[in-house]
Structure 1
Amino acid sequence: MLRSTRHSTALARCGFRRNFYSGTLGTKRSTLRSKALVATSCVAVAIALGLSRDTIQNDAPAINPKKSVPTPSGSSLVSNNDSLEAVVWGSNKNHVLSSSSDETTPIKRPELSPILSNTALRDLAVTEEYGVCVDARGDIYQWGDGFSGQLARSDRPPRPQKTLSGKDISSVALTPNKVVALSKKSGKIYILSSKQNQQDTQKPSGSWSLSKLWTSSNTEVDYIELQTNVKLHRSEKFTSISTGKDHLVALTSSGRTFSLPLSLSGNSSGQLGLRKVSVRSDSSSPSLADIELTPKAARDPYATATPYIRTSQASQEDTVSQPAVASSVEQSKLPKDDDIRFCTTLYEIPTLQGIKVAQIVAGARATYARTEMGGRVLAWGANEYGQLGLGPTVTLPHVSVPTEVVFSKTAPSGTASTCTNIAAGPGDIVYFLVQRKTLGTSNRAFDVLACGMGQWGAIGNGLFTNAQGTPSKVKLVSGVQEFHEQDQTLRPLEIYNISTSDTGHTLLTLDTAARTGPGANAGRDLVAWGLNQDYQLGNGKRSSLPTPIYLTNDEGNRVALQVKEAPVSDMSGKLWSRKAWVEQTAVAGPGCSVVYWKLRT
């Protein structure tokens, strides 16, 4: 976490005097006993390569920061005490970062969050208008003006409000109108409204049963449980979810992929991987109707052309503005986009049947799938900014068929590239974490590749580029190695986490805590780049950055995200565990950034 200036001297005792090199981005942090080494290679991607993090502890002296005093930029609140404080900075115009005042001006420097204090969470996500978190018990809490409405300061809840409970939720994914939640134990997926005034509990229809009575007594809001169009295997359950602006994708424990439209625009760019779905035919009726959500490009191939080469321009525009639905359903009778019962069935993606997928991720209007075998990536959906990564020869604005992304052009000859992770936020940019291995040797390196809309520098290649169709290396964090004193060798430095926002800034966490030897407990370095209009990069400035920078404190030491054991309470303040492993996690939201304590699973 981030610490006040008067405690910054403890950073040196927490391991900041360590031997670390990272190409041109890093600087020599201490004097080696024998000779200086400078690294030139790769940032890591594969977190699941057997690196142990279970014994990492924090050895900084205990401190007791005043919670009422904001902390200055880049400082660290790392401590050995039991305090678990979140730190926030950036846009606060809808009171997502702080509800303690009526001020909606940006938070210029990282400060303690009164909303997420003294707790560790399973998951956290924020949009421009509201925030959602999952506490240690698996209950969902919501806050922000988009949730509670524009309330006066005296009426504004000081803490997040519990909404969905009793479902053992492990993760959440958000859209402007809906919250999608995944149950850890059962693997079930639930949807509830993002607005408090639309969460009035509805009594279950049909006959009463013990199960319905139990379900009703364990939740405070109206919600739905999603079904599937095909039967899952006996032990199969959903393990991950991801949302774009208008669509949801989900992955099962067997590697099967499913998608669902969250509004009539849920397949505007072909991001679903299918077209025909069933929706409610009337907002007041439970009956279903089959509709076909046809991508814009299929309805009007000249949608992006000039008026001079379009035929029947007026009629074309009318066609594109409305989804193609079954003739038996009137447009006026279709449910509204913010209706949580718009579509309640997850559909298996036909073109991916028989392909075991390890990860599926939704961009704003695109979808990416990483195969379990070979680490190959398939992408489909919107491609106006080259966000599918299909290269300069694919200039189609929309691709509705899963198409392979080729990484060999970014690697030297004689190497094999394998994608180990995909990070795509609700915007038009995607990051591929790729491992390169030299054929016939054990040498490996790691790259962070980006493509899509880089108008504010989110590509990280030193340029402000509107469109980037070929995956490009993020400069200064691709090709990083560090020196290990224990065995006197250079090793690739891995990536621990990456989070990107729809407004164009990215937070990347380096896995520096996994090292052995001096400085091993100093924590994970935090790197940021991209849009900085609302001070979301945490450096106290507003100029956007097209290349990554380390977050540093006033003394020039790097901010380090910590791992420790501590007592954990739920959001209501009740003790959940007397001792649990927690780690600081960085989240990039729309115009803002949050560092919170996350429970390690």
Structure 2
Amino acid sequence: MPRLHRTLPLITASGIALTLYATHTQLHPLKLDSVLPITKKIKPATTTFPPYTPIGWGSNRNLTLIPLQANQGKEHGQETPGLVKRPAPLLHLGRTPLRDLVIAENYAAALDANGDCWLWGKGYDPTGRIGKGLVFAISRSGKLYVFSPDSSLHSSSSSSSTSDSSSWLSYFTSSQTQDIPHVELEASGGLSWGEKWKQVAVGRHHVLALTTKGRLFSMPLSEKGNDFRQLGTREELVSDETPLATSLSRSSSPRPSKDITYRTHLDPIPSLSKIPITHIATASNTSYAITSTSRLLSWGANSLGQTGLGGSNTTPLVPVPIEIVLNKAYPAGTSTNVECLDVKAGGETAFFTVKRTHPGRRGEWVDLLACGSGLMGALGTGSYSSAQGVPGKVKVISGLQEYSEKEKTFKPLGIYQLSVSPSAGSGSGSGTSGMEGEGGGGMGGTHVFAVLDTLRGGEGKEYGRDVFAWGANVEYQLGMGKRTSAAIPTYIPTLGSKLDHNGGWHGNELDVASVDANRLQLHTSPSIPAYSPTGQLLRRRVKCEETIVAGCGSSVVYWKIVE
């Protein structure tokens, strides 16, 4: 089995995709002092944070935010918090911008400026296998790799630390410190000259991969990988399929969900062979694709209406890609043309960013549509419905316009970024993360962050980008300092402060004046140095901007490298 060279950057700025299979096992018995509460706790976050340090809040049950071990905390009179109720600095990542960052259920991953992947959390902990999973990575050269974050599969992990280690580094490693077994995934029939992998999206049991020439491929991750026809094919997978190799596992016959060689080739989707695709996304067992003509396609599981094909379509699955008629989201005669700009999904909920025009009216409008599960307010439409088949408008952040001094006209106010969390135990990923697990510890439910494109104001002045949040909040993941879920997009306070108890809403109206000086806004930064989490200088000057990430039961704001 080949190994990654230590100098090879695993991943480029295109990001990482994760899928977790959290079957909880433990190689060593738990020590009593590792679970007993310690009286002195970590001090709550203040309003001042170290510059360029990632800030996180929400669930830390699996040490995905603050990887401080129990015995280290005992030495310093601290305990590792299970819940980070208010934003706190993630000091283990250092004061540096990153290329990407993902918070899964049992582990987390980050990319430094060189593209090296750093892992931490209980899902990586060398003292025991608490989670199973896969990491998909696109290299700078456009190759697609898969490896496991489970350090029990890494040849050097067994000797790198022990169960008595007092350093958080036992939860934290990069490709520079050890060679990691990996597999390069290839396309059946090969790629054409100059064609490379562009984007990868991971669901609970399947993965989609898109090339630079718009060709879409799919691959199962287990024998359940096509139960809902989420691969876009009619392939029947047998449960007793033998993995291609067993050398990466301690057992003689590893489960497919853990073996990175379960499948090593991706197959093209026949019905899309002549349709160029520009963007892809995955929910738990549902797939989405945007064509070069801005049409939206969906296929796979549909038990909660997550394919968006309408309320009359009650079939539990859609076997082949079908176009979602987005005009159905609007009253008859109110919209002549609707184009899909972006798609994001998490758990059993999907979001479509669309651009529309009106008959007899000048100008364009940008809307956010949602369908699927609305539990804990995940749809953002004000409804807590468990299922919605017709895409509904997220009204608070839809149809907004701003006046352009340069063009002397109104322009649509678009959505700059949309981050949708996976639900613990549901497994999903829109090109960033996907996971499945049991014993999620209350982290179920999807939460969402929408960042509006409000950076540039009139007269060339630059302001921050406004952030809205909604959905599940049982783990304080919305950053409001309380556990109440939100069914409509709501401003969240500046990191280290708080809004009033209504989140700025009074009745059905948003009091902008009351939150203007105290709401979270994301900013850009001039070129700054970039370091590794251990403090090594990697790049002297990189451009970066603040980015917010909805993780599994938690959230992070960090500086993202954009060049």
Contact 2:382 2:488 in 1 (8 A): yes
Residues 180-226 of structure 1: CA deviation (Å, up to 9, x unaligned): 11112x21111111211112279xxxxxxxxxxxxx99961111111
* 2:314 is the counterpart of 1:395: yes
Question: Where does residue 126 of structure 1 map in the other structure?
Answer: 103
Paired letter, 1:346 = L
The 1:280/1:226 distance shift into structure 2, 3 A limit, reads farther
The 1:180/1:588 distance shift into structure 2, 3 A limit, reads same
Paired letter, 2:107 = Y
* 2:218 is the counterpart of 1:251: no
Contact 2:226 2:236 in 1 (8 A): no
Structure 1 gaps of 5+ residues are 1-67, 152-174, 203-215, 288-331
Cα distance in 1 between the residues matched to 2:177 and 2:195: 25
The 1:85/1:384 distance shift into structure 2, 3 A limit, reads same
* 2:489 is the counterpart of 1:548: yes
Structure 2 gaps of 5+ residues are 1-41, 74-78, 158-174, 423-444, 500-514
The aligned runs of 1:64-463 (5 Å cut-off) are: 70-72=44-46, 83-100=51-68, 101=73, 102-148=79-125, 177-184=133-140, 186-200=141-155, 220-274=179-233, 275=235, 282-283=242-243, 285=245, 335-373=255-293, 375-412=294-331, 413=333, 414-425=335-346, 427-439=347-359, 442-463=362-383
| SS of alignment partner, residue 320 of structure 2 | strand
* 2:446 is the counterpart of 1:504: yes
The 1:136/1:579 distance shift into structure 2, 3 A limit, reads same
Paired letter, 1:453 = S
The 1:240/1:201 distance shift into structure 2, 3 A limit, reads farther
Measured after TM superposition, the shift of residue 70 of structure 1 is 4.7
Cα distance in 2 between the residues matched to 1:476 and 1:76: 30
Question: What CA RMSD, in Å, does the superposition of the two structures yield over aligned residues?
Answer: 2.7
Identity %: 38
Cα distance in 2 between the residues matched to 1:397 and 1:281: 26
Paired letter, 2:484 = S
Measured after TM superposition, the shift of residue 283 of structure 1 is 4.8
Contact 1:423 1:499 in 2 (8 A): yes
The 1:276/1:110 distance shift into structure 2, 3 A limit, reads same
| SS of alignment partner, residue 377 of structure 2 | coil
| SS of alignment partner, residue 351 of structure 1 | helix
Paired letter, 2:125 = S
Cα distance in 1 between the residues matched to 2:238 and 2:112: 34
Paired letter, 2:84 = I
Contact 2:246 2:254 in 1 (8 A): no
Cα distance in 1 between the residues matched to 2:302 and 2:238: 27
The 1:463/1:440 distance shift into structure 2, 3 A limit, reads closer
The 1:190/1:481 distance shift into structure 2, 3 A limit, reads same
Contact 1:84 1:597 in 2 (8 A): yes
Paired letter, 2:520 = V
Measured after TM superposition, the shift of residue 478 of structure 1 is 0.9
Measured after TM superposition, the shift of residue 421 of structure 1 is 0.3
Paired letter, 1:411 = Y
Measured after TM superposition, the shift of residue 439 of structure 1 is 4.9
569-578 vs 249-258, which deviates more? 569-578
261-270 vs 477-486, which deviates more? 477-486
Contact 1:432 1:449 in 2 (8 A): yes
The 1:392/1:445 distance shift into structure 2, 3 A limit, reads same
Cα distance in 1 between the residues matched to 2:352 and 2:271: 22
Cα distance in 1 between the residues matched to 2:238 and 2:181: 21
Residues 393-412 of structure 1: CA deviation (Å, up to 9, x unaligned): 11011111111101112235
Residues 323-370 of structure 1: CA deviation (Å, up to 9, x unaligned): xxxxxxxxx978532111111111111111010001111111110010
Question: Where does residue 513 of structure 1 map in the other structure?
Answer: 455
The 1:284/1:507 distance shift into structure 2, 3 A limit, reads closer
Contact 2:363 2:410 in 1 (8 A): no
Paired letter, 2:269 = I
Cα distance in 2 between the residues matched to 1:359 and 1:497: 15
The 1:281/1:455 distance shift into structure 2, 3 A limit, reads closer
Question: Where does residue 578 of structure 1 map in the other structure?
Answer: 540
The 1:487/1:355 distance shift into structure 2, 3 A limit, reads closer
Higher relative contact order (CA 8 A, sep 6+): 1
TM-score, normalised to structure 1, is 0.69
Cα distance in 1 between the residues matched to 2:326 and 2:541: 43
Residues 533-571 of structure 1: CA deviation (Å, up to 9, x unaligned): 010110101011100001123474221111112111233
Cα distance in 1 between the residues matched to 2:133 and 2:352: 28
| SS of alignment partner, residue 465 of structure 1 | coil
Question: Where does residue 293 of structure 1 map in the other structure?
Answer: none
For these two proteins, the number of residue pairs brought into alignment is: 444
Cα distance in 1 between the residues matched to 2:244 and 2:409: 67
Question: Where does residue 526 of structure 1 map in the other structure?
Answer: 467
